[in-house]
A and B are shown apart, each in its own frame.
Chain A
Amino acid sequence: MIECDVLVIGGGMAGWFAAIKAREQGLNVLLADKGYVSKSGETIYAGDTAVFDPDAGNDLAAWLEQVDVIGEYMNNRHWNELVFRDSRERLADLRSYGVQFEEKDGRVVRLPHPHANIVLPDTHKFPPTVSEVVHWLPGFPEKVRKHLIKIGVKLKDRFMVTELLLQDGRVAGAIGFSIEGNRVEVIKAKAVVMSAGGGGFRPVGYPTHELTADGHAMAYRAGATITSKEFVSPHSTNPKDPAWPPMYLFFSAGHSAAQPGMYSAPHLFNAEGDEVAARGVAWHGWIDAEYEAHEGRAPLIADLGKRGVLPVSGPGGHGSMFGHATGGIVPVNDDCATEVPGLYAAGDSCGTCFIGANYSGFGFATAHAAATGARAGLGAAAEAKGLGADGGIDEKAVAAATARLLEPLERKGGFTPNWVTQVLQNTLAPYFVLYVKHGDRLQAALSTVEFLRDHIAPKLYARDDHELRLAHETKNMILNAEMKVRSSLARTESRGTHYREDFPGRNDEEWLAWMRLKQEDGRMVTFKQPIPAEWRPDAAKSYEERYPMRLPNEVPGSGAPNAAGEGR
């Protein structure tokens, strides 16, 4: 058994900050990652981070309005403010850890939001984009890794955590195994930070296959509430080499400031030569693209101006490859504590609802991961310090958790993780399940997912250590699928990246609420958490003013079943 004061699970931006801040409090900190800290997770692909700086003329009210309008009021304004206000300090921290940024005359270069200058036709009013980003230089993860080692954070690479261990109702540690050699180990901790990222279903064209919502799943099983799983992260890929991430990067994200014109007015055309929506490669324009496919007008072509044209195919995302700072474990205070005593959540694992129903600003995800990571690290450290000599962990509970961990290896036969993953992908990947949604189709997907959960998952078997990891990831993906499908079914309206063909409009009367889910008597239940009245859009404004972005076949305001959409 390994002992520490604070255990941090997952070493991306969130886990880095959690570990560093807790260590700076003089505690014994262990950072475990199933990959290799600085080589796994989403953080390593990010090119920019948002930094709010009043001294640079940034106006908080304008930044908040950007998130409100693009996030379609599903953002948590309190967290927006906390993260924005923290961001300048986190930037200074990163620089002090040795991370280099694009600089001019000794100052970090601030760049306008990449979408700020896109010119759109009058029919597509674009929401205000005032937030600004800064770019770090390549090699930044290695710099932070060195800093972690230098200050004495213990790193445990290639170690997959499978379960949180509870003692007398509070988290007392976790259990996991080494990816190579399947050595099972229990890590005892006074407080645990969950920063294991978000999760998808091993999307093509997006190198995030290791992110299988493990953090969300472990916390859910320990009793935490999960939020906002109905929203998706619809990044597309290209039809020629759909599994080739660099093609995706070329097309969209713009991971280098050194490419002028990167964001110059991208236009999207359908097979009939009509422009789909100039906002097609921004915000939730992806839904328009999916709808074109639905109507039989794919393939699509993106015109990137000077950079030529590029064919586009549907999201390789299989319905969201990552949390992108929206869905996740609900925090109960500003320190990112959760409902489970002793458990903190940060980054994509943490459901602050920071960005709302759309990805409402470039650089927001890493700014959110840094801010919540630092807060969770400090919160966990304070709690760990406050605890006296800790008790043990019940031996029987450890034995039971060990048996659960090793079960796939003990089985002589059953289903392979790869086959089950493939079945799950086939269930979720088609555009008509998690992008152009409909109650009937979601219900059908749910039946399959429930069957996988009840009949297939218990019979997953592993022939070696590598497959043991895959087996646990597959179980977590099945749970994540259930969360996404149930939340999508429950939200009977369209909003942001959640598009329901049978409810093609925002319904403010019923749905200015977050969709939460929780385990009750072994079953997953969904419930609404109303958004505070003072954060709701001004009811005096017209629907179009509240929601400048149009939806396919929209029925403004009604949220009621659409005659055209029904019976498809």
Chain B
Amino acid sequence: MTIEKIDLDLCTGCGICIDSCPMDVIRMDRAGQKAVIRYPQECMNCEQCALDCPEEAVTVTPYKTVPLISSWG
């Protein structure tokens, strides 16, 4: 779905993708070493993270899943 993965072997933790994301989907891990996909549901497939990552560590796909609607949530 949307932002699919960040390849941790490639990620250097530079943080560029975090600034590139208008939707606050990506954050740094607790140790501040690697980027992690924290809020994938907000991803709008804009691709900026993938385009801007100098290590080409980010994969974005065309697919987006939406949670099932329930009576409250």
Complex contact B23–A209 (CB within 8 A)? yes
Contact in complex: A426, B69 (CB < 8 Å): yes
Asked if B64 and A243 sit within 8 Å, CB to CB, the answer is yes
B44 in complex: contacting residue of A209, A416, A423, CB < 8 Å:
A209
Interface membership of B46, Cβ < 8 A: yes
CB of B45 within 8 A of chain A?
Answer: yes
B66 near A157: Cβ-Cβ < 8 Å: no
Q: Confirm or deny: B20 has a beta carbon within 8 angstroms of a beta carbon on chain A.
A: yes
List residues of B (20-56) whose CB comes within 8 Å of A's CBs: 20-24, 27, 38-39, 41-42, 44-48
| Contact yes or no, A244 B62, CB < 8 A | yes
A7 at the interface (CB under 8 A from B): no
**Contact flags (1/0) for B10-28 with A, using CB distance below 8 Å?**
0000000001111110010
Q: Which of A209, A244, A415 contacts B22 (CB 8 A)?
A: A209
Whether A535 sits at the interface, judged by CB under 8 Å, is no
Tell whether, in the assembled complex, residue B19 and residue A466 are in contact, meaning their CB atoms are under 8 Å apart. no
Contact indicator B44/A246 (Cβ below 8 Å): no
B46 and A245 contacting across the interface, CB-CB below 8 Å: yes
Q: How far is the CA of A349 from the CA of B24 in the complex (A)?
A: 22
A422 within 8 A of partner (CB): yes
Whether the pair A243, B73 counts as a contact (CB closer than 8 A) is no
Knowing A39-B20, A39-B22, the reply to whether A204 touches B73 (Cβ < 8 A) is no
Is A341's beta carbon under 8 Å from chain B?
no
Given contacts A207-B45, A416-B73, A423-B69, contact A243 B62 (CB under 8 A): yes
A180 touches B27 (CB 8 A): yes
Known: A415-B73, A419-B70, A466-B38. A241 touches B44 (CB 8 A): no
Expressed in whole angstroms, the minimum distance between the Cβ of B17 and any Cβ of chain A is 10
Q: Please tell me if the beta carbons of A419 and B19 are within 8 angstroms of each other in the complex.
A: no
Contact call B42/A204, Cβ cutoff below 8 A: no
* B19:A36 contact, CB within 8 angstroms: yes
CB proximity to B under 8 Å, residues A423-440: 423, 426
Interface assignment of A130: CB less than 8 Å from any CB of chain B: no
Instruction: Decide if A245 touches B45 in the complex (CB within 8 Å).
Output: yes
Complex interface bits, B54-65 against A, C-beta within 8 A gives 1, otherwise 0: 000000001110
* B residues near A247, Cβ cutoff 8 Å: 62
> Could you mark each residue 140-166 of chain A with 1 if its beta carbon is under 8 Å from any beta carbon of chain B, else 0?
000000000000000001100000000
Per-residue interface assignment for chain A, residues 183 to 209, with 1 indicating a CB less than 8 Å from any chain B CB and 0 otherwise = 000000000000000000010100111
Chain B residue with Cβ nearest A238: B62
CB neighbours (8 Å) of A157 from chain B are: 19
Chain B residues proximal to chain A, CB less than 8 Å: 2, 19-24, 27, 38-39, 41-42, 44-48, 62-64, 66-67, 69-70, 72-73
A interface residue numbers (CB < 8 A to B): 35-36, 39-41, 157-158, 179-180, 202, 204, 207-210, 241, 243-247, 415-416, 418-419, 422-423, 426, 466, 469-470
Sampled A-B contacts (15; CB under 8 Å): A36-B19, A41-B22, A180-B27, A204-B64, A207-B22, A207-B44, A208-B44, A210-B23, A243-B62, A244-B62, A416-B73, A418-B73, A419-B72, A419-B73, A422-B66
A-B contact sample (15 more), CB < 8 A, given A245-B46, A470-B42:
A36-B20, A158-B19, A158-B24, A180-B24, A207-B46, A209-B23, A209-B44, A210-B23, A243-B62, A244-B45, A416-B73, A418-B41, A418-B67, A419-B70, A422-B67
